[in-house]
Amino acid sequence: MNDPRIAFVGAGNMTRSLIGGLIADGRNPARLCVSDPDTHQLSAVASRFQVHTDTDNQRLTENCDVVVLAVKPQVMATVARALGPSVQHRQPLVISVAAGIRTADLERWLGGRCALVRCMPNTPALVQSGATALFATEGVSPPRRDLAESLLRAVGLTLWVEDEALMDAVTAVSGSGPAYFFLLIEALQEAGEALGLGRKSARLLALQTAFGAAKMALESSDDAAILRQRVTSPGGTTQAALEVLESGAMKALLQSAVTAARDRSRALAQQLGAD
Ligand SMILES: NC(=O)c1ccc[n+]([C@@H]2O[C@H](COP(=O)([O-])OP(=O)(O)OC[C@H]3O[C@@H](n4cnc5c(N)ncnc54)[C@H](OP(=O)(O)O)[C@@H]3O)[C@@H](O)[C@H]2O)c1
């Protein structure tokens, strides 16, 4: 499929990020369209991206090769049930970006098996620096897998998981992950201020250090553990700090935190799928 027609259901943050990324990547806005019951949202999207819009999800998706479901998880059952007959009849590629909605539940709401890709993006997707895990059901052909991946790549890194149960671990690591790093930046900034740095300087130093460390780690073939060892001279300042973090069992604490997020993700998925 060279230039598929792509419908986005829901004109919120994720749709705007994806469309912004796709157009920046060279996709033709005339092949993208968006539906949402809120006409204010639609006119904002239409004037920003020059894409076709409609308040009616069914009408919009009828002639599309790809349907991206980008509504809140809480309304997904209603939206999917209404689209079910058309999806079953036409069999477009369906991509869900909704957190915590399992493919078995989505297929049940859509009225049966279909070519379905479930994605778990994270909020840095809003600045085209997201990390997205994808899972495809059996009905998705290799070219359609490639298509789904190319759409999500417009907002950052993508990787596939072959076991859907791992989506709860993905949610715990990269879905909730930005908040862990925000907390670390916040704490480092506060520590800098406590040691006498001005608020603005402490903030900038903490932020640029987080960015620089992530960039270095991304560009290196070495593990983070090796990079850490390399910047830790015996008896030096970094070692003094790391010893304090280790005495507070920082790794074990993070392990417990991420496990708690994974367990909460499982419980929420069960709750959302009960509809
Ligand atoms: N934002 C992120 O970084 C992020 C990260 C990971 C996953 N996700 C997932 O992406 C999905 C969308 O998130 P978002 O942040 O883009 O949410 P959002 O900004 O609230 O956008 C959802 C849009 O869907 C609209 N909508 C509500 N009912 C609808 C219906 N029946 N038909 C069509 N559109 C409808 C909403 O309109 P109203 O505002 O009028 O209700 C809103 O404009 C969610 O499932 C979320 O889990 C988002």
156 pairs with which residues across the strands?
Answer: 130
pTM, two decimals, is 0.93
Q: What are the distances in angstroms from CA 148 to CA 1, 135, 136?
A: 12, 10, 9
Q: For position 109, what pLDDT does the model report?
A: 97
Of 8, 14, 152, best ligand 1 pocket probe by most atoms within 8 Å of the beta carbon: 14
95 pairs with which residues across the strands?
Answer: 68, 117
Query: Running DSSP on this structure, what letter comes out for residue 155?
Result: T
Q: Is 152 in the pocket of ligand 1 (CB under 6 A)?
A: no
Ligand 1 atom index nearest CA of 99: 47
Q: For position 20, what pLDDT does the model report?
A: 92
Answer for the pair 9, 60: CB distance below 8 angstroms, yes or no. Answer: yes
- The rounded Å distance from CA 188 to ligand 1 centre is 33
Tell me the two tokens of residue 98: 């909704």
Q: For position 227, what pLDDT does the model report?
A: 96
Angle at 87 between CA 2 and CA 275, to 5 degrees: 130
Q: Is 71 in the pocket of ligand 1 (CB under 6 A)?
A: yes
Question: Beta 116-120 vs 130-136: how paired, if at all?
Answer: antiparallel
Q: What are the distances in angstroms from CA 89 to CA 63, 86, 110?
A: 12, 5, 11
Q: Is 154 in the pocket of ligand 1 (CB under 6 A)?
A: no
Q: For position 275, what pLDDT does the model report?
A: 79
Domains within the chain, CATH numbers bracketed: 6-167 (3.40.50.720), 175-269 (1.10.3730.10)
Phi, psi values for residue 7, rounded to 5°: -105, 135
Query: Running DSSP on this structure, what letter comes out for residue 65?
Result: S
What's the CA gap between 172 and 259, in Å, rounded? 7
- The rounded Å distance from CA 186 to ligand 1 centre is 28
Angle at 155 between CA 162 and CA 135, to 5 degrees: 15
Residue 162's closest CA among 151, 173, 170? 170
Going residue by residue through the chain (275 aa), what tens digit of pLDDT does each one get? 678 999 999 999 999 999 999 998 889 999 999 999 999 999 999 999 999 999 999 999 998 999 999 999 999 999 999 999 999 999 999 999 999 999 999 999 999 999 999 999 999 998 999 999 999 999 899 999 999 999 999 999 999 999 999 999 999 999 999 999 999 999 999 999 999 999 999 999 999 999 999 999 999 999 999 999 999 999 999 999 999 999 999 999 999 999 999 999 999 999 888 87
Of 48, 53, 61, 71, best ligand 1 pocket probe by most atoms within 8 Å of the beta carbon: 71
Q: For position 272, what pLDDT does the model report?
A: 87
Q: Is 99 in the pocket of ligand 1 (CB under 6 A)?
A: yes
- Tell the burial category of 253 from Cβ atoms under 10 Å away from its Cβ (0-12, 13-18, 19+): exposed
What's the CA gap between 120 and 73, in Å, rounded? 12
